[in-house]
Chain A
Amino acid sequence: MNVEISELTRRFGRTEAVAGVDLRAGPGVFGLLGPNGAGKTSLLRMMATVLPPSSGTLRLLDRDPRSYGPRREIRRRLGYLPQNLGYYPGFTVAEFIEYFALLKDMPSGQVPRAVAAAIEHVGLGGKARAKLRTLSGGMLRRVGIAQAIVNEPELLLLDEPTAGLDPEQRVAFRTLLREFGQRATVIVSTHLVEDVAAACSEVTLMDAGKIVFHGTPDELIAQGEGHGIGDAPLERGYSAVLAAARS
């Protein structure tokens, strides 16, 4: 198991953003759904080793991230795209990705090839030398994805990765997710249920810091049969589960 979470809690003052979550995930693409404030980002940040848990246990890639050495090893094998991606406007696309490849402690000799491959992977080959300040929002998102995959991570955490992508790019991105999911654990936090339906083998629905559903997309769809609101089957399942959790 690449991710093993047990009774994981994170508090911010009196607010319990993540409240006793249990989760286990091996290779595959996992969708993390939930309304605003459900705790998805906090959970992802804990899995990204950015945010220490308040309580509970967290094992990533068979390591305990509380200790520095294992945490560093996890980070070498981790890819993370935060919800709000900052960037250095003066860097070129290639420099920005190279920068993060180096931060991930990649062997120096492998960096140029890895950077070029990641850039090609997100379809920005023609923009490798462009300054980040000249890119559109969608292109910047793709740069963010490229930096997350440059080290070919074993654990890939993506927070709202398709925000700003056009339909064509989203389709390509889902292909990319499926490809990565064959050999790594990919956890995608999103509001867009169609991404989950298209790319995820499992889906987890959070509300108020708790996991209120965990199963396959088909199982979530089944939850919505004859219930809920929404245009798509998965949306109806999503609404039905949330309604049940809140009742």
Chain B
Amino acid sequence: MTATSAPVRCTPQAGRAAPLGLARLLRVELRRNAMPFVLPLIALVFWFDSYRIAATLPPLWAERLFYIFGQGHMLIDFAPFVAGVAAWMGSRDGRRGLADLLATGARPRFAVQFATWAATVIWAVGGYLVFMAATLWALSRSITYGAPPYWPLAVGAVGVAAFSAAGFAAGAFFPTRFTAPVAAFGALLACGVSSQIGFNEGTGWALILPTNSNSNFGQDAGVFYQFLPDLPIARVMFLGGIAVALVALLGVPVTAGSLRLRHIATVVSAAGAALTVTAIALTATAQVTGYGTVIPALHDAASSRPIPYTPVCRNAGIRVCVHPAYRPWLADVTAALRPVQTQMAGLPGAPARADQVATLFTVGGPGLGRSSVGQIATISGQPAVLYLPLGALNLSGAFGQDRTDFLDAIKLQTVHAFVTAGSGYGDPAQTAVQAALVQNAGIPLARQARQALPDSPWGNAIAGPPGNGGYPAQIATAATRFAALPAATRHAWLAGHLTALRAGHLTLAQLP
């Protein structure tokens, strides 16, 4: 120690110095924050849990981002780490025995804590945005149409901020070394419970939960219609309200600062809580429409307008047109329709054209609210047009589905639409004829059972699809017999009986 140089005498100028001082404080906190140390770990988890899976899904934004945004994996992967580290930072002063020394600071305690939290959240949200930018860029390399939705991205960013606020507040109010792991586990639990509630509650207030996988956006969002921002906006309000309420709560204790500051903090905290409650209330008014979830108070009618497009077409015996976003599957669609078309050609009601239609939200299974699963192909109009909701099918690459599954689904749905005129599963005679035609289009009876869509109204109509162990013996026998007929005989019989068959006037015994 030397006594040669005296410290600089400083004139306190709190009013003018405060913003610059806070900026310097923030710079120190940014430099010494713990969050950067866990970002590589988060990146690893995010890659493993989100990107790795999303990258294998069909190259459509709605498909690829359903796992990350729709099921909220962007939050599930971040939240435990962010909450834990934020709690670690929040509890830092207490754990390090600095409470006394910090209490002698002239700057309001709240301002100091806010700087620490701000540094934590800047790292966390910055890391999130960088990871998401890299993810979207990597995913976009194989997506040829449209743009990703940005409101769900904002939900993730605000969610990360909310979890950091929750963790930090927990650490600040309970400054022990156990707070961080408890906060991390609590965040994981919150995400898990939120997901679980989402599996059972597909409508109403539960939609506010950011990891609720229901009713976020349909398969054809961003293709035929826009990603509706209503629900993400409500979620941003919900999570933003939580973040504001919890951070402002730090300014309420006696030690936080002046009475005025504490009053302001109380009001801001209450406003944050009110914002959260408002978001929940708004979500309770949500209506799940075919295009997505509409919250009347937040809805902009312009966002419901279909997106104009010019279809791309190909010939498969008939002209087949799909949305340009589905260009990668056009060859598969024509390949699937060609053998089916061979079976239907020249028969009454045979489609003269096949057009892709938008997949809309429809009523899902019990308690599930709405989903895109279950929409099926239909044939209507004069001349008849086959309308294919390709988005409702499992595109090749979607969660374990391969190209054969996709082709089979198109064949099954087309023949079903042709034979049953769009009714439910069909009566035994319709089922047998349908099975025979599909077999002749290249799908053996045994595989047809596997290919039926269990969640579709077609399957549900007679208490279960044919897939559970195969067709009943009588239907299978009749189908085999009908399929074995010479093509000309079968065609002639269908030409004469198809109308009666569609109307449900034929029995199995009446089949040749």
User: Please, how many angstroms separate the alpha-carbon atoms of A38 and B104 in the complex?
Assistant: 23
Given known pairs A87-B98, A88-B96, A91-B32, the reply for A179 and B14 (CB within 8 Å) is: no
Q: Pick from A26-34, A107-115, A189-197, A238-246 the stretch touching chain B.
A: A107-115
CB distance A117 to B105 under 8 Å? Answer: no
User: Quick check: is A152 within 8 A (CB to CB) of the other chain?
Assistant: yes
User: Please, how many angstroms separate the alpha-carbon atoms of A22 and B357 in the complex?
Assistant: 89
User: Please, how many angstroms separate the alpha-carbon atoms of A150 and B5 in the complex?
Assistant: 12
User: Quick check: is B7 within 8 A (CB to CB) of the other chain?
Assistant: yes
Which residues of chain B are near A99, meaning CB under 8 Å?
Answer: 25, 28
| A86, A91, A105: the one within 8 Å of B101 (CB) | A86
User: Please, how many angstroms separate the alpha-carbon atoms of A122 and B4 in the complex?
Assistant: 10
CB distance A88 to B32 under 8 Å? Answer: yes
| Chain B count of residues within 8 A CB distance of the other chain | 43
Given known pairs A88-B32, A114-B7, the reply for A108 and B100 (CB within 8 Å) is: no
Which residues of chain A are near B100, meaning CB under 8 Å?
Answer: 45, 48, 50, 80, 82
| B12, B13, B101, B258: the one within 8 Å of A85 (CB) | B101
Q: Closest approach, in angstroms, between the C-beta of A142 and any C-beta of chain B?
A: 6
CB distance A72 to B104 under 8 Å? Answer: no
CB distance A152 to B8 under 8 Å? Answer: yes
CB distance A107 to B12 under 8 Å? Answer: yes
Which residues of chain B are near A77, meaning CB under 8 Å?
Answer: 12
Question: Which chain A residues in 91-138 approach chain B with CB under 8 Å?
Answer: 91, 95, 98-100, 102-111, 113-114, 117-118, 120-123
Given known pairs A85-B101, A117-B7, A120-B2, the reply for A111 and B24 (CB within 8 Å) is: yes
CB distance B20 to A108 under 8 Å? Answer: yes
The chain B residue with its CB closest to the CB of A68 is B258
> 0/1 per residue, B21-58, Cβ < 8 Å to A?
10111001001100000000000000000000000000
| B14, B102, B104, B112: the one within 8 Å of A78 (CB) | B104
Given known pairs A95-B28, A103-B112, A142-B1, the reply for A110 and B98 (CB within 8 Å) is: no
Which residues of chain B are near A50, meaning CB under 8 Å?
Answer: 100, 103-104
Q: Closest approach, in angstroms, between the C-beta of B263 and any C-beta of chain A?
A: 12
The chain A residue with its CB closest to the CB of B3 is A175
User: Please, how many angstroms separate the alpha-carbon atoms of A99 and B31 in the complex?
Assistant: 12
- Of B12, B18, B104, most A-chain CB atoms within 10 Å: B104
User: Quick check: is B497 within 8 A (CB to CB) of the other chain?
Assistant: no
Q: Closest approach, in angstroms, between the C-beta of B113 and any C-beta of chain A?
A: 11
- Of A69, A104, A179, most B-chain CB atoms within 10 Å: A104
Q: Closest approach, in angstroms, between the C-beta of A24 and any C-beta of chain B?
A: 22
| A98, A106, A169, A172: the one within 8 Å of B10 (CB) | A106
CB distance B1 to A173 under 8 Å? Answer: yes
User: Please, how many angstroms separate the alpha-carbon atoms of A102 and B21 in the complex?
Assistant: 6
Question: Which chain A residues in 174-232 approach chain B with CB under 8 Å?
Answer: 175-176, 179
CB distance B103 to A49 under 8 Å? Answer: yes
Given known pairs A49-B104, A98-B24, the reply for A121 and B14 (CB within 8 Å) is: no
Which residues of chain A are near B93, meaning CB under 8 Å?
Answer: 86
User: Quick check: is A149 within 8 A (CB to CB) of the other chain?
Assistant: yes
User: Please, how many angstroms separate the alpha-carbon atoms of A238 and B14 in the complex?
Assistant: 43
User: Quick check: is B141 within 8 A (CB to CB) of the other chain?
Assistant: no
Q: Closest approach, in angstroms, between the C-beta of A132 and any C-beta of chain B?
A: 10
User: Quick check: is B473 within 8 A (CB to CB) of the other chain?
Assistant: no
Q: Closest approach, in angstroms, between the C-beta of A94 and any C-beta of chain B?
A: 10
User: Quick check: is B463 within 8 A (CB to CB) of the other chain?
Assistant: no
Which residues of chain A are near B25, meaning CB under 8 Å?
Answer: 99, 102-103
User: Quick check: is B17 within 8 A (CB to CB) of the other chain?
Assistant: yes
Which residues of chain A are near B107, meaning CB under 8 Å?
Answer: 102-105
User: Please, how many angstroms separate the alpha-carbon atoms of A236 and B209 in the complex?
Assistant: 73
User: Quick check: is A56 within 8 A (CB to CB) of the other chain?
Assistant: no
The chain A residue with its CB closest to the CB of B103 is A50
Given known pairs A49-B103, A106-B21, the reply for A76 and B1 (CB within 8 Å) is: no
List 11 other contacts, CB 8 Å, given A50-B104, A102-B25. A45-B100, A86-B97, A88-B98, A95-B28, A98-B24, A103-B25, A103-B105, A107-B16, A107-B21, A121-B7, A172-B2
8 contacts between A and B (CB under 8 A): A48-B104, A75-B106, A86-B97, A90-B32, A105-B107, A106-B10, A120-B2, A152-B7
Question: What are the 8 tightest A-B residue pairs by CB atom distance, in nearest-first order?
Answer: A86-B97, A103-B105, A172-B1, A108-B20, A86-B98, A105-B106, A75-B106, A86-B96
